[in-house]
Amino acid sequence: MTAPTAHRAGEPPTAAVLGTGIMGAAMARSLLRAGLPVRAWNRTRAKARPLEADGAHVADSPAEAVTGADVVVTVLNDGPRVLAAMKDAAEGLSPGTVWAQSATVGVAATDELARYARERGVTFVDAPVLGTRQPAEAGELLVLAAGPAAAREVLAPVFDAVGRRTVWVGDDGAGAAASRLKLVLNSWVGALNHATGEAIALARALDVDPDLVLDAVSGGPLDNGYLRAKSAAILEGDFTASFTVANALKDARLIVEAAGRTGLRLDVAEAGAARLERAELAGRGEDDMAASYFASFEGGEEGPGAAGSRAEDRRGPRAGG
């Protein structure tokens, strides 16, 4: 493998961020706050333009973005989009450039991206991140990484800027060790999200105040931060996206696909994907993944059984949904 290109001693590495949606834009701002030069690109340039006010150079093409960059961070939606962007960036890549692939794209796509990196002489690091909008904006993501030891020094200030912790799980990014771990963690996140939505839907259908449910588990082994965050979104009717239904559905399908390749059947993950599909069909694709709650109701909307303890009955009109 080509050794990473050394950036100038004593200076922070220049980072190219390809993809400036919810996660990419937040990560770019974290890099800028840490004093790293950032070159950003997004397929829809208007989504990247606000980063100029924070000090980023917004490029018109992936090739322009990666030119002169020590590190390329890809935060695009799926494997095909990541590969297309990196192919478009080819003429701007230098041999040994470190590529931190931080999108959740699954095992098969990670293998394909690693092969392309080898063809281009680029140092590939499998580096998905765990977290949503708020931790991304605060630079508090969990970075899961697998890649050669030679790349860690140049990546350290990048990962330190975007994350609260980096977990290195292997020395070979091509092995998709970090992506495999991310799928396992996402399966747990999905289960918590759906269980929260179903518990609140059941409470409302049985005319039980959801606040009583939350009070009953408070401080005990059944309580957790994810329950609190997603139940708050549902009860307040605020589905501003931290992580969208559409992205959660993409990840759920990757989990089911990866399990299927091993001959494993994941009934909960399969059912979770079906719930997300119903929520997306009901027009909730760009809402927060907590909106899978609506998949519990016929037609994707709360039915009469939910009326007894709906959020607006206790707190006024709902903010969304």
pLDDT at 299: 83
Domain membership flag for residue 9? no
Mean pLDDT of the chain: 92
Nearest to 170 by CA among 153, 152, 157: 152
Kindly state whether residues 170 and 185 are assigned to the same domain: no
Nearest to 97 by CA among 174, 4, 15, 8: 4
d(CA 92, CA 188): 39
The total of structural domains in the chain comes to: 2
Q: Point out the domain boundary residue: 175, 198, 219.
A: 175
Contacts of 239 by beta carbon, 8 Å cutoff, 6+ apart:
233, 284, 287, 288, 290, 291, 320, 321
Kindly state whether residues 149 and 45 are assigned to the same domain: yes
pLDDT-based confidence at residue 311 (cuts at 50, 70, 90): very low
Give the pTM: 0.89
Kindly state whether residues 130 and 39 are assigned to the same domain: yes
Domain membership flag for residue 320? no
Domain membership flag for residue 264? yes
Kindly state whether residues 136 and 106 are assigned to the same domain: yes
Domain membership flag for residue 7? no
pLDDT over 90 percentage in the chain: 89
Q: What is the CATH number of the domain that holds 288?
A: 1.10.1040.10
Q: Which two tokens stand for residue 36?
A: 């790293």
pLDDT at 308: 41
d(CA 89, CA 231): 42
Comparison of pLDDT for 263 and 5, the residue scoring more:
263
d(CA 288, CA 284): 8
pLDDT at 118: 96
Kindly state whether residues 168 and 204 are assigned to the same domain: no
pLDDT at 291: 98
Domain that holds residue 70: 15-175
Domain membership flag for residue 228? yes
**Does 7 score more than 90 pLDDT?**
no
Domain membership flag for residue 149? yes
Kindly state whether residues 169 and 206 are assigned to the same domain: no
Region 95-108: mean pLDDT is: 96
pLDDT at 321: 31
| Residue 276 φ/ψ, nearest 5 degrees | -65, -40
pLDDT-based confidence at residue 281 (cuts at 50, 70, 90): very high
Region 35-49: mean pLDDT is: 97
Q: Point out the domain boundary residue: 175, 192, 211.
A: 175
d(CA 94, CA 5): 8
Q: Which two tokens stand for residue 16?
A: 């190219």
| Residue 275 φ/ψ, nearest 5 degrees | -65, -45
Q: Point out the domain boundary residue: 175, 205, 225.
A: 175
User: CA dihedral defined by 204, 191, 127, 246, rounded to 10 degrees?
Assistant: -50
d(CA 106, CA 65): 25
Kindly state whether residues 216 and 126 are assigned to the same domain: no
Region 85-93: mean pLDDT is: 98
pLDDT at 254: 98
Kindly state whether residues 79 and 151 are assigned to the same domain: yes
Model confidence pLDDT, tens digit, residues 126-162 = 999 999 999 999 999 999 999 999 999 999 999 999 9
Domain membership flag for residue 281? yes
